[in-house]
Structure 1
Amino acid sequence: MPENKTEERPPQLDNVRDNATQEDFKMKNKVWEMLELDTKVDVLRHLIRLAASTKYTRSGKPCLPMKKYEMMARYINEIGCMVGGYYKSLNGSTSGNGSAAK
């Protein structure tokens, strides 16, 4: 008479499950890092805008000249586009649709 065993999984299936959860964790971690980076880019954008404003200085001159502000704003916008694109690619891969935004 065979022993009364509970059904056990082969060790290969446990490894596949562990690898899948590790990959899922890594993906979620990357998504959270991208969201945090996006927030930091927004804060930087606002700080640069404040530095170029004349409202908050006694002399009426901005702390940051307009030419430098324009250059920095372009770079910050480019960084924001890069972060947003990478976030979209991560977010698309976690939702499982795999299609690009229309």
Structure 2
Amino acid sequence: QEWYNPIIREKVYHLFEDEIPYQTTVIVHEFKHKSSLIKIGANIIVQRETQKAIIIGEKGSMIRRLGTEARKDIEAFLQQKVFLELFVKVKPKWRENDLQLKEYGY
């Protein structure tokens, strides 16, 4: 299930510019495979509230777009319907914390 992270992260790179993509990581926290549907829950980790606001966008427009694009790519690869649930979480200085880096797979 870790291979979903790069798909979601690639959408962050594609949709956002400047520092935001370089200060984010994606953590899949839920993966449930049912007969007709795969449910994936993922956290997009950022360092600041302002980054969270940018990723969410006005009235959720950007996170919705990011989720739709990532879901379509995952569905195309798996040839199965996917329910993708994204959350944006703020973890200040996560990139400077060895324990968090290890937890996130770095």
Normalised TM-score (structure 2)? 0.30
More helix by share: 1
More strand by share: 2
